[in-house]
Amino acid sequence: MPFVGTQDEDEPLPEAHIESLHITQEYICLIQNATLDEDKLDSETLDCLWNPVEGTLVIIDPDERLSLELFTATNSRQWNSHIL
C-alpha cells in the first residue's frame, strides 16, 4: 500500500468499505468531474459564473460590515493557527 500522498493522481482511489468514507469518495468524484458544459443550469446563471462581476464591493449596512469583519478575522485566525 503506498504512503499517503504518493499515489498517482490519475489512478482511482481504492473503494472504501466504511459508509462515511464511501460517501466522501463519491462526493470527491462528483467534484472532480463537475462541469459547466452540461445543460443543468440556466443561461443567466452560466453567464454569471463565466463572467463574474468585477469591481469593489461597497457595504453600507454597518451590521453586514461588522458580520463580514468578524467572519474574516475569525477565519484568518483559524488558518494562521495551523501554520506554526
Measure the CA angle with vertex 36, ends 33 and 38; round to 5°. Answer: 85
* H-assigned helices in the chain: 19-32, 43-50, 62-81
Residue 44 phi/psi, 5° resolution? Answer: -65, -45
pTM greater than the 0.85 cutoff: no
Domain boundaries, the chain: 40-76
pLDDT band at residue 1 using 50, 70 and 90 as cut-offs = very low
The more confidently predicted of residues 54 and 9 is 54
Residue labelled with grid coordinates 485566525: 77
Q: Cα torsion at 25, 28, 32, 38 (round to 10°)?
A: 100
User: For residue range 17-73, what is the model confidence (pLDDT) as tens digits?
Assistant: 788 888 888 899 899 888 888 778 898 999 998 999 899 988 999 999 999 999 988
